[in-house]
Amino acid sequence: MGIIISKNDEFTTFLKNKLKERYEQRRRLDNKVHVSDIIPSSCIRKQYYARKLPELDVISNETVQHFVRGEASELVITNLADLGVSQAELEMDGLTGRPDIMNSDVIVELKDTMNTQRLNVTDDKFKSYLRQLLYYLVITGIEKGIISIKYNIKELKWIKSDPHGDYFFRPFNSKSPEIESWEIFLPANDITREILKNEMIRRKNLFVKALENEDVTILPRLSEKIRSRKCPWCKFYEVCMDSKNYETEEAKEMANEIDILDIPSVIDLKINDTTNTTT
């Protein structure tokens, strides 16, 4: 008898179930608020529904892949960098956070993405990475941070979308999968610290109030300018847009407030040939 090769779907399913179990263990169902719950562009309502209606938060294969990729690269890079404590728990006024790497001089956030384009400070995704790091800098009083983004695929240019799907092309000079790191400096005496601190506490208190009173109406939906792009893909779209889950006037105003990171004088972007530096 020669070599016998056959597909083994049972093993794939076994592995998928184990990974899903692992993902489920990390799901937050209590009222403890983590920094990632209150980042504006991540949608505070989505975090509410993920706790209150976990049965709607179906874990797709893609979610599991994303989770495993993130965990694996975080583990490898944290060990390689050997720069400080990994996942140290921070706490401020009932708000918790776990930076990927931290020592007394710097906080490092490691990000892993399938984005087809390189991110910068004009992208919502980059801004959510930046805000999470800034929140950690505010909580700890540390001035320097690094965002290190691992891109998993070659750069692609989007051409168009139609009912059959999205069309991209890969230029010859497109960037390869790589890691790109950004340095962020937030001076200890900068007024932005106070503004961000107020923003964090305000959003945290609102989130706790909504969870305790089971009242989603006080939580803002995503801002109007990104809603049409993001909401239709949200697992909680139907329930969130149901008229009984309206937004209070205060929540509506909050959703459309000007983001401090969009105020031109707040960020000074410096780019040189080899590194990208934001101060």
Q: How far is the CB of 237 from ligand SF4 (least distance, A)?
A: 4
- Ranges within 138-167 binding ligand SF4 (CB under 6 A): none
Q: How many residues does the chain have?
A: 279
Residue linked to tokens 């031109």: 264
Q: How far is the CB of 231 from ligand SF4 (least distance, A)?
A: 3
Residue 122: burial class (beta carbons within 10 Å; 0-12, 13-18, 19+): exposed
* Type and span of the H or E element at 68: helix 61-81
Tokens of 258: 């000007």
Please list, in sequence order, all residues whose beta carbon lies within 8 angstroms of the beta carbon of residue 80, skipping any fewer than 6 positions away: none
Q: How far is the CB of 217 from ligand SF4 (least distance, A)?
A: 12
- Among 16, 237, 259, 277, which residue sits at the site for ligand SF4 (rule: CB under 6 A)? 237
Size of residue set near ligand SF4 by CB under 6 A: 12
Each as own residue / partner, the long-range contacts of residues 83-86 (CB below 8 Å, 24 or more positions apart, any chain) are 83/108, 84/108
Q: What is the DSSP letter of 104?
A: S
CA distance 17 to 8: 15
Taking CB under 6 A as the binding criterion, the range among 131-139, 188-196, 206-214, 236-244 that sits at the site for ligand SF4 is 236-244
For ligand SF4, give the closer residue by CB, 93 or 224.
224
Question: From the CB of residue 129, how many other CB atoms can be counted at a distance below 10 Å?
Answer: 24
Taking CB under 6 A as the binding criterion, the range among 30-38, 134-142, 189-197, 229-237 that sits at the site for ligand SF4 is 229-237
- Among 210, 223, 236, 254, which residue sits at the site for ligand SF4 (rule: CB under 6 A)? 236
For ligand SF4, give the closer residue by CB, 43 or 147.
43
Taking CB under 6 A as the binding criterion, the range among 52-60, 93-101, 207-215, 232-240 that sits at the site for ligand SF4 is 232-240
* 154, 175 contact by CB (below 8 A): yes
SS3 270: strand
For ligand SF4, give the closer residue by CB, 101 or 219.
219
197 to 226: interface string for ligand SF4, x by CB under 6 A: ------------------------xx----
* Type and span of the H or E element at 256: none
CA distance 279 to 184: 5
142 Cα distance to chain centroid: 21
- Ranges within 13-52 binding ligand SF4 (CB under 6 A): 43, 45-46, 49
Q: How far is the CB of 230 from ligand SF4 (least distance, A)?
A: 6
Taking CB under 6 A as the binding criterion, the range among 53-61, 67-75, 148-156, 227-235 that sits at the site for ligand SF4 is 227-235
Q: Contact between 240 and ligand SF4 (CB under 6 A)? A: yes
Tokens of 160: 């168009």
CA distance 118 to 151: 8
Q: Contact between 182 and ligand SF4 (CB under 6 A)? A: no
Q: How far is the CB of 84 from ligand SF4 (least distance, A)?
A: 34
Which chain residues interact with ligand SF4 by CB under 6 A? 43, 45-46, 49, 221-222, 230-231, 234, 236-237, 240
